[in-house]
A = this chain, B = another copy of it.
């Protein structure tokens, strides 16, 4: 089965591509942007299994041609504009065009070429206002998505559209709502405006800048990008998923991660300087410090036995990648 990954050169997309390749799968990496040399190096050993298509999900014909030409059988749709406030204010329609109309293009190409299943990579941020109400856990069906920013508004509209077209087009589509993803390959692709603090810290460490950490760190559920990739592939391969929507996070609260991650980065970059910003200083590591509810992981765990890695293994894996990929932040 050939799997096409939209946004395959992006953060989550590239983790998916690496996982598929490492497991011997045939992959079409579809992305509008080029890959940095470090990423090209990472997939070089798998050249025989991989086709790279530089293309835009906003171009419906190009998408359909790629699906046909490469006999695509499954799709993991990760391409999106991860817009920050500046982009929302400047060009809101571009967010709609990629995140919602782009998703319709992917579904339409899948329908035309009889793809077996599309997995839609949605975001837990679609819970929006519901994230901040102090609920113990958020459930896919009973915790309402009330998205706030255009990114989340369009991602949630796209998930609802997936479910609607599933019915109208008799298409197999499953959606996963991702938690706060940490790990390899988060980078400025031109369509990603906001970064997890841990990726920012890698960049600061690698470029020799002093990091001023936020005054306090709110414990929250983080999930490793490798686990997210594995979870999306589980959803692609599942025979008959019981649900159309799944939370995909660790379902666990991670506290005090930033200082610990800085200490770890010092083992790779001994000159790395960091400190918690003084009360009257503005941190240069940006971070949403609102307390959020956890996403419940019962569906993924009960149905598929899905378990995310323990924090210790995550930091070790992430650090190993930092060590093996010193040029990532310079390109």
Contact of B85 with A157 in the complex, beta carbons under 8 Å:
no
Q: 6 A-B contacts, Cβ less than 8 Å apart?
A: A85-B168, A92-B108, A100-B157, A144-B146, A149-B164, A156-B157
A164 touches B144 (CB 8 A): no
Interface flags for A138-172 (1: CB within 8 Å of B; 0: not) read 00000011111110011011001100110011000
Since A93-B105, A146-B160 are in contact, a sample of 17 more A-B pairs with Cβ atoms closer than 8 Å, ordered by chain A residue number, is A88-B164, A89-B165, A92-B108, A92-B161, A93-B101, A96-B100, A96-B104, A97-B101, A100-B157, A145-B146, A147-B160, A148-B160, A148-B164, A149-B164, A153-B157, A153-B160, A156-B157
Determine the distance from Cα of A89 to Cα of B77 in the docked complex, in whole angstroms: 20
A108 contact set on B, CB distance < 8 A: 92
The quantity of this chain's copies bound in the complex is: 2
Q: Chain B residues with Cβ under 8 A from A89's Cβ?
A: 165, 168-169
Cβ of A56 to closest chain B Cβ, rounded Å: 15
What's the least CB distance linking A323 to chain B, in Å?
40
Q: A88 contacts which chain B residues (CB < 8 A)?
A: 164, 168
CA distance A160 to B149 in the complex (A): 8
Interface residues on A, range: 20 to 34
The answer to whether A96 touches B101 (Cβ under 8 A) is: yes
Give the complex CA separation of A150 and B93 in angstroms: 18
What mask results when residues 55 to 96 of chain A are scored 1 for a CB within 8 Å of chain B, else 0?
Answer: 000000000000000000000000000000100110011001
Nearest Cβ distance between residue A328 and chain B, in whole angstroms? Answer: 32
In the bound complex, what is the Cα–Cα distance between A85 and B164 (angstroms)?
Answer: 10
- Least CB separation from A149: chain B residue: B164
In the complex, what's the smallest C-beta–C-beta distance from A312 to chain B, in angstroms?
Answer: 38
A154 to B96, CA, bound (A): 10
Contact of A92 among B96, B144, B165 (CB under 8 A): B165
Q: Roughly how many angstroms separate A148 CA and B160 CA in the complex, as a whole number?
A: 7
Contact of A150 among B149, B150, B153, B161 (CB under 8 A): B161
Q: Nearest Cβ in chain B — how far from A307, in angstroms?
A: 30
* CB neighbours of A165 from chain B (8 A): 89, 92
- The interface residues of chain B lying within 8 Å CB-to-CB of A145 are 144, 146
Report how far A100 CA is from B99 CA in the complex, Å: 12
Bound Cα distance from A157 to B161, whole angstroms: 11
Chain B positions within 8 Å of A93 at CB level? 101, 104-105
